[in-house]
Amino acid sequence: MSKIAVKRIYAPSDPGDGMRILVDRLWPRGISKAKANIDLWLKDISPSDDLRKRFHAKPESWDAFRSAYAEELTGEAAQAAAAELRALLRNGPVTLLFAARDERQNNAVALKEWLQQHV
């Protein structure tokens, strides 16, 4: 599997990013589609609105979020998006883009961990 990077969508793009994929369900505030420089928006692989809101309200529940998100990733739409993502990873590096302020505990970090375990 190719390299998977994680980056805030507000950070400048870089040629080393490879395929830039937004993995948030909502479009990030304050950034135009042109400036975001994304190649693909995979909404179906993002956490549900309910899970996202629960984690936002209680960020100390990182482990519970990761477990619940992993469970959501077993759904049909998420599995189809994961298959698409795995296919892209076979072709080169991929950068998972997210909008959250916390760069260590967010859905893109959790997704990267999940992908590395479910090759």
Task: Report pLDDT digits (tens) over 75-110.
Answer: 999 999 999 999 999 999 999 999 999 999 999 999
**pLDDT tens digit sequence for 16-54:** 999 999 999 999 999 998 899 999 999 999 999 999 998
Strands 19-22 and 94-98: parallel
pTM above 0.95, yes or no: no
Cβ count near 37 (within 10 Å):
15
